Amino acid sequence: MKKIIALVLASVMLLAFAACSSREKGDYSFADGDQYEEIGGELNILNWGEYIDPELITLFENETGVKVNYSELTSNEEMLIKLRSADCIYDLCFPSDYIIEQLIAEDMVLPLDYSKIPNAKNISERMKEFTNVFDPGAKYSLPYMWGTVGILYNTTMVDEEVDSWDILWDEKYTGQIWQYDSVRDAIAVSLLRLGYDINTRNEAEVEEAKDELIKQIPLLQGKGTDNIRDFMINDKAALAVLYSGDALYCCDENENLAYAVPKEGSNVWFDNVVIPKTAKNVEAAHAFINFINDANLAARNTEFIYYSTPNQGAIDRLDAELVEDEIFNPSDEVLSRCSVFHDLGSFAEVFNKAWIEYNTRSGK
Amino acid sequence: MKRRAFAYPYIVWMILFIAVPMLFIFYYAVTISGKLDLSVFWDTLKNPVNWKLLLDSIVMSLKTTGICLLLGYPIAYILSNMKKSVAGFISVLFFVPMWMNFVLRTYAWQAILNYVLPSIFGSKGTFTGTEWAVLLVLVYDYLPFMVLPLYNTLSKLDKSLLEASRDLGANGVQTFGRVILPLSVPGIVSGITMVFIPAITAFTVPVMIGNGNPDFFLYGNIIEIAFKQPTPNYAGGSTLSIILLISVFVSSLIMNRFDKEQIQ
């Protein structure tokens, strides 16, 4: 018995070791031979889960002598709460488009000093067209990662073509569907299916979208965020609303999976880096933004996170196979169907109310 | 006088960690950005959805408590009839999982319900996201709290009473119904209290085992949603918490009543 336990333990350790070493270290040198001065102090970063190559943080610490404190969270709404709190300690964070619009409107972020971010030149023009919608001229924020929202499906369970949000309401798939657990994303799916704008300010439309979501509840296997990936990879569910980056990761792990951006359109989203007004180490924050936008490092970071990068320098350095992938790099035709979320201002209350009613199944 | 001094740290503790947080909850319930405003408070009280979810939670909690009692009583009874050393060992086994964090144990159940059980039953799907799975994990979590007080009461039962009952001609069933069961009521009452009250407030299990499906959301989940919105509804969330506090308080009063009646 003891031998078996020892054997199991040994193989587990071996596996863990293999997992660590199988990832060969890429080229982490600076593309333009950047030099960083010793800055020191601390840098508090707030970001999404698994949303940076940890190697980058170590490298940055070694280059600049800055101690990085890195925290993670799972929703934009949580990020907003943290940034609004009186004792906000963060020097850098990575909110999405509509939150940035709100942060700018509420005067909560610092304008970027581009003299300290020479690597901003790497950001592609195509992306700037989109981000101009919520931050004209990228005055306050620089795109970090981007992607679309779509349907990830299992081709062994779904025979028909997936090209419409309607399939998520198909009773054939009862108990095999995952909805996304976030106010804007879930309601957007329902709005798009009904043919409405994802930034609608029409109360009746939001109400209708909510009622449709409530009708969908009995068909769901669940409503989640990062946890959806495991269910899809392990063939546990047929259909899921998911971000393109997560979808790409899942497709890599399970070849039966495919991803589609429905014909009714979808959301194209951006996570940009911003410096909150409360930042204490603005110098280090700028250095970090410049650092992650280095073409080489951005390429490594993209390989790690697997979301689409707005960094043209990085795209030029990535595998052609990845760059040509329709999930990673959607065509202009797909993007023409997608729109960016806007901050809804006080109308956000209508969405929040609908969200609570959805979660408590209390349609009128 | 001297002895009372030992109580001071406890009193300070109670004020700091029980009274003050409660006052904060009341304060937030009746103010909106620092000004006295009862509008949200009344709206929350008047909203039938909140009461329906409270009822759902109570029903779920009653189911959990009922199953725990049905499972826990025989376990405790068998344990109490075993040799002290064996029974002690087995009751430690009941405790061991509780050394591990509750969320971790729930994660373990996620794996069991998603992968282990489906493969045993040859199902391709998953068992999470169903009501029975939520109930199963709730029962698992709270069963020790039912077994231990019952075991305590049953093992202290005077065995000579059982012999007397037999002597007077009662069979096994009669002895159980007329002697053992009535005498074990204090254990049953404290077991029910220890399961029912925490189970009303359960909110991680519906999310983690119910897969976040609104169909399985309980009262605790609406409190979480109230605070986790983009613009947190402090007044609403606090009012919801007060309702829960009062319900818990009332149910423990009822339980205490039962307990006292038994002792008299």
Q: Model confidence over A238-286: pLDDT tens digits?
A: 999 999 999 999 999 999 999 999 999 999 999 999 999 999 999 999 9
Cβ-Cβ contacts under 8 Å for B52 (sequence gap 6 or more): A362
CB nearest to A223's CB, from B115, B213, B225: B213
- Radius of gyration in angstroms for the set of CA atoms belonging to chain A, rounded to a whole number: 21
Residues A44 and A112 in one domain: yes
Cβ within 8 Å, pair A223-B217 = no
Q: What span, in angstroms and rounded, lies between the C-alpha atoms of A141 and A112?
A: 7
pLDDT mean over A117-140: 92
Q: Which of A136, A119, A68, A144 is nearest to A296 (CA)?
A: A119
Does the distance separating the beta carbons of B49 and A221 come in below 8 Å? no
Q: Are residues A229 and A346 in the same domain?
A: yes
Mean pLDDT of A132-143: 94
In terms of domains, do A260 and A195 share one? yes
Task: Say what percent of chain B tops pLDDT 90.
Answer: 52
Cα distance between residue B4 and residue A240, in whole Å: 62
pLDDT digits (tens, 9 = 90+) for A177-236: 999 998 899 999 999 999 999 999 999 999 999 999 999 999 999 999 889 999 999 999
Query: How is residue B237 written in tokens?
Result: 């969330």
Cα end-to-end span (Å), chain A: 62
Q: Are B196 and B61 in contact (CB under 8 A)?
A: yes
| Distance of residue B230 Cα from the nearest chain A Cα, in angstroms | 5
Locate the chain A residue with the closest alpha carbon to B123.
A236
CA distance A314 to chain B (A): 34
For residue A72, give the nearest of A93, A103, A96 by alpha carbon.
A93
What's the pLDDT at A7?
57
Question: Tokens 């030992």 correspond to what residue?
Answer: B6
Distance CA A267, CA A66 (A): 37
- A1 has pLDDT over 80: no
Cα–Cα dist B225/B237, whole Å = 8
The answer on A229 and A130 residing in a single domain is no
Q: CA-CA distance, A165 to A186, in Å (whole number)?
A: 11
CB contact under 8 A, A360 and B214: yes
Residue numbers of the domain that contains A83: 31-146+270-329
Question: Cα(A27)–Cα(A201) distance, rounded to whole angstroms?
Answer: 48
* Position B131 pLDDT exceeds 80: yes
Q: pLDDT value at position A160?
A: 94
Cross-chain residue pair B129–A175, CB shorter than 8 Å: yes
Structure tokens at B209: 């085992």
- Is residue A22 in a domain? no
B125 touches chain A (CB under 8 A): yes
Query: Which residues lie closer than 8 Å to A108 by C-beta, 6 or more apart?
Result: A83, A84, A276, A277
Chain B residues in contact with A236 (beta carbon < 8 A) = 114, 124-126
Chain A residue numbers touching B125 (CB-CB < 8 A) = 175-176, 221, 236
pLDDT of residue A23: 45
Distance from the Cα of residue A48 to its chain's centroid: 8
**With contact defined as beta carbons under 8 Å apart, do A227 and B210 qualify?**
no
With bands split at pLDDT 50, 70 and 90, how would you rate the model's confidence at B225?
A: confident
How far is the CA of A96 from the CAs of A24, A144, B186, B239, in angstroms? 31, 10, 56, 32
- A129 and A188 together in one domain: no
The model's confidence at residue A22, banded by pLDDT at 50, 70 and 90, is very low
| pLDDT per residue as tens digits for the range B7-64 | 888 899 989 999 999 999 999 999 988 888 899 999 999 999 999 999 999 999 999 9
Three-state DSSP state, B113: helix
* Better-predicted residue by pLDDT, B6 or A98: A98
B231 pLDDT more than 90 = no
Round to whole Å and give the CA distance between A249 and A304.
10
Q: What is the pLDDT of residue A193?
A: 97
Q: A218 contacts in B (CB within 8 Å)? A: 215
A354 chain-B contacts, CB cut-off 8 A: none
Contact A360 B232 (CB under 8 A): no
> Between chains, do A358 and B229 touch, taking CB under 8 Å as contact?
no
B126 interaction partners in chain A (CB closer than 8 Å)? 221, 231, 236-237
What pLDDT does residue A20 have?
47
Q: Which residues of A touch B113 (CB under 8 A)?
A: none
Tokens for A135, please give them. 């931050």
- Note whether residue A319 is domain-resident: yes
pLDDT in tens, B157-196: 888 888 888 888 888 888 888 888 989 998 999 999 999 9
**Judgement on whether residues A140 and A243 belong to the same structural domain of the protein:** no
Predicted pLDDT of residue A158:
96
Mean of pLDDT over chain A: 90
Query: Which residues of A fall below an 8 Å CB-CB distance to B?
Result: 75-78, 80-81, 175-176, 181, 183, 214, 217-218, 220-224, 230-231, 234-237, 348-349, 352, 355-362
Residue A141's CATH number:
3.40.190.10
A253 and A300 both lie in a single domain: no
- Among positive and negative, which fits the CA dihedral B132, B134, B136, B138? negative
A215 contacts A174 by C-beta, under 8 angstroms: no
Interface test with A, best of B216, B229, B240 (most A CBs within 10 A): B229
- Same-domain status, A112 and A64: yes
All structural domains of chain B, each given as residue ranges with its CATH number in brackets, are: 60-263 (1.10.3720.10)
**Chain A neighbors of B53, CB-CB under 8 A:** 360
- In Å, how far is A149's CA from the nearest CA of chain B? 20
A152 contacts A250 by C-beta, under 8 angstroms: yes
- Note the helical H segments in chain A: 2-22, 54-64, 76-84, 97-105, 125-131, 183-193, 203-216, 228-233, 244-253, 282-292, 295-305, 312-317, 320-323, 332-337, 348-359
Pair B199, B142: CB distance under 8 Å: yes
CB atoms B210 and A222 under 8 Å: yes
Q: Which one, of A154, A133, A131, A47, lies nearest residue A310 by Cα?
A: A131
Shared domain check, A177 and A248: yes
Q: What is the pLDDT of residue A361?
A: 84
Considering the domain architecture, whether residues A255 and A278 belong to the same structural domain is answered as: no
| Confidence band for A15, pLDDT divided at 50, 70 and 90 | low
ipTM: 0.83
Question: What are the chain B neighbours of A349 within 8 Å (beta carbons)?
Answer: 231
- The arithmetic mean of pLDDT across residues A123-129, rounded, is 89
Parallel, antiparallel or unpaired: strands A42-48 and A67-73: parallel
* Residue type, position B72, single letter: G
Q: Are A222 and B129 in contact (CB < 8 Å)?
A: yes
Residue B161 contacts residue B182 (beta carbons within 8 Å) = no
Give the one of B52, B213, B222 whose C-beta lies nearest to A222's C-beta. B213
Verify that A202 and A154 share a domain, yes or no: yes
Tell how strand B35-36 and strand B31-32 pair up: antiparallel
By Cβ distance, the residue of A81, A221, A349 closest to B129 is A221
Structure confidence by residue, pLDDT tens digits, B190-200: 999 999 988 99
Whether A226 maps to a domain, the answer reads yes
CB spacing of A220 vs B232 below 8 angstroms: no
Task: Report pLDDT digits (tens) over B88-117.
Answer: 888 888 888 888 888 899 999 999 999 999
